[in-house]
Chains A and B, each alone.
Chain A
Amino acid sequence: MHIEFSDEQNMLRESAARYLADNYDFEARRKTSSAAPGFSPAHWQQFAEMGWLAMPLPEAQGGFGFGAVELMLLAEEMGRHLVLEPYLETVVVAGGLLQHGALQELLDRYLPAIAEGTLQGAFAHGEPGAHASAQNVRCHAAPAVDGGFILSGEKAVVCNGPNADILLVSARLEGVAGLSLFLVEADMPGLERRDYATWDGRRACDLVLREVSLPASALVGEAGSAEALIERVADTAVLFSCAESIGAMSSLLDRTRDYTSQRVQFGKSLSSFQVLRHRMADMLVEIELCRSLMLAAAQRLDQDTADSRRLVSALKVRTVKAARFVGQNAIQLHGGIAMTDELPVGHYFKRLALLEHQFGSRDDHLKRFCDAA
């Protein structure tokens, strides 16, 4: 396996790396994270101007129609710089669900706005007291007389929910087997939000939907067929979040190597102690094994085959394992200083921990991997 990146792909990676290195410093990030909306509208606008928000969207709606490899390259740089902006939620997931399921009318209304940076989205799938999964969806939709729907239920830990203009809500439509997906605008009557910060410095909310009236066009994809649609988009989201984790882990290893090289104890640098050298070597091994799976998955993801799904699940399982090892040892090797809010290390650690459970846990993907064999 060898991936030769195109000139365009190399340029994307380099420009993302350069922009974030020059403009995304940790102190500014801390300030942004400490108050609503929890991301920087100025950065978001820059992302739009650089074309990042349009990247994976279809050309018909102002996008570039780029695929999984480009998303992966961007995600890795975002992970390396601990970017707060809700790219995954808005562009990859909300954009992806619309792109693969919504009617032309909705595509034309929402996708150009996502590409321009004027609209944000969120996916409301998980519910209180349960892991997010199709099985656990209890939200209920009833057909209305005008051909529309009445939506009721509760959703939990909706990432980027507080900033989302549109929410994609999974529910069970009366009389139809399987899951259905609905587009809900954030200002609709009957929608109650409880916003909060999450441990990684981002924003999420819990939602209560009380008989929210939706038009017929709010149904995204066929009634009862949302599970396949969600699975397909979740695979891209898993690739994105794993690439983000790999970027974060790479930064942690760099920081750990630098710190242990300059920190002197017992008259020599910490990095000269064999037990710490071996630990850092193991951290590198963990990251590179994930990177191999990530590259393989990115190459095949757009084909959406049993093989690509199996690779994505392998990537998720392996990345969670690596993220724990690398995150925990980055703190261990730094010592007490990494337990402070002041150093970026712990913030990477928290982001890695929260990414573990998005779009299926390690256990869920291990089962999926077994079932796909």
Chain B
Amino acid sequence: MKQEAFRREVQEFLEQSLSPELRRAGQLMTSVFADFEATMQWHRILHQRGWVAADWPEEYGGTGWDINQRYIFQEECKLAGAPALLPMGLQMLGPMLIRYGTQAQKDYYLPRILSGEHVWCQGYSEPGAGSDLASLKTTAVADGDDYVINGSKIWTSYAQYASHIFCLVRTSKQGKPQAGISFVLVEMDSPGLSVEPIIGLDGRAEQCQVFFDDVRAPIANRVGDENQGWTVAKYLLEFERGGHNFTTDLKKQLSRLRRQGESECGPDGTPVLQDSATRQRLAELEVEALALECTELRIKGALAAGDNPGALSSLVKVVGTELGQRLSELGLDILGQEVARYQPEAMEPEFAGDVLGPDCALTSMAEYINHRATTIYGGTAEIQRDIIAKQVLDL
């Protein structure tokens, strides 16, 4: 009962707070990121309501919601078409600072993440260090009270909008590669730091490369001990891999596919969704999505009971991302040649002209393309399976 009342409260809030422009920005998402301006506008609205950091403890400005409430909130936001919030500050750095940060770091950074004054990006991967993250080469050398940083980070999402970057840097070449890494916070307007956006296959610049040329950052901005950054990084990666709720994404995709299948006619002149082969293919994917939902509910149940879900959380990223890819493929099957039109300007929320072709087909190809990245970032599907083999099966 309490849960239903909470759900209604969330629904009412979303009904009142989500402008058509914000909903459009949510609807036009083809990756985990929405239009930046819309994202930050929504961030500030949620902050005002006290709901921006659903997962943080109350003492740090979080909601204090239990796991069921957090799940309901995520689901309702997604289904209402809200733009996604940027995860780098709220989902990644925030929880990490709460766990490992000094009091001064918490006092300074956490409120500014909440307010949206600081926008964070993540400096992990390098051109030569992808799956083998520990081989990273960006160096930080102590000089007085500062580190002097040199090197480059790549696949830095939304770095062009960020005010700060948290990065993994090499502070020692001794011992195992993992043993010489530190975790440092750097301001993006530091002298010597430059950002180069990377045009993606969808024609848009979501990723960047960040260059460090004698960039100075105070040693006080290190999180955790020197050369202990790997432990911090792993904690944060767990959030990137496991903190995501795939079921709500998949439900959103499924409802879009149904809409498309009802409006588009198949070769026999009737809606594609009346075709038994398509219906069966959709049903099979719904079964998979349901199996994943039940798995996510099991994890949630275990966490609520104070247990460790262990193996289950490892497989969720693999299953969730691969299932998302299969759903995006079905979108192509349903829409046929309608997906061919390339109209990048219409994918901006402020676009006021005519959309070529049906609106429901506008983002399908970008979605299909961008879903390819989901089994690459945050640890490839192959790396994830290695983790399952090693850590769960003990192979």
Contacts and interface: CB of A to CB of B under 8 A. Distances in A.
Interface of A: 126, 128-133, 135-136, 156-157, 194, 196-200, 204, 206, 264-266, 273, 275-276, 324, 328, 331-332, 335-336, 338-342, 346-347, 349-350, 353-354, 356-358, 360-364, 366
Given A206-B357, A349-B201, 15 more contacts: A128-B357, A133-B267, A136-B265, A136-B269, A157-B341, A196-B342, A265-B130, A331-B372, A335-B380, A339-B201, A341-B200, A341-B203, A350-B201, A357-B337, A363-B266
A336 B376 contact: yes
A339 B372 contact: yes
A199 B277 CA distance: 27
Given A156-B338, A198-B341, A335 B131 contact: yes
B376 A266 contact: no
B261 to A, nearest CB: 12
Contacts of A356: 332
Interface string B169-211: 0000000000000000000000000000011110100010000
Interface in B13-70: none
A349 B337 contact: no
A338 to B, nearest CB: 8
Interface in B259-277: 263-269, 272, 275, 277
Contacts of A275: 382, 385
A336 B372 contact: no
B246 to A, nearest CB: 19
B212 interface: no
A155 to B, nearest CB: 11
A366 B130 CA distance: 40
Nearest to A320: B333
A260 to B, nearest CB: 12
B91 interface: no
Nearest to B130: A335
Contacts of A339: 200-201, 207, 369-370, 372-373, 376
B110 to A, nearest CB: 30
A224 B288 CA distance: 46
A156 B361 CA distance: 13
B365 A131 contact: no
A361 B200 contact: no
B336 A361 contact: yes
A199 B342 contact: yes
A332 B372 contact: yes
A232 B333 CA distance: 24
B343 A196 contact: yes
A265 B132 contact: yes
A353 B340 CA distance: 9
B155 interface: yes
Interface in B332-386: 332-333, 336-343, 356-358, 365, 368-370, 372-373, 375-377, 380-382, 385
A332 B380 contact: yes
A46 B21 CA distance: 50
A275 B383 CA distance: 10
A171 to B, nearest CB: 16
A340 B201 contact: yes
B331 to A, nearest CB: 11
B292 to A, nearest CB: 20
A264 to B, nearest CB: 8
A337 to B, nearest CB: 9
A-B interface, 10 closest residue pairs, ranked by CB to CB distance from nearest: A133-B267, A130-B265, A265-B132, A346-B201, A341-B199, A131-B336, A135-B269, A198-B340, A157-B337, A357-B336
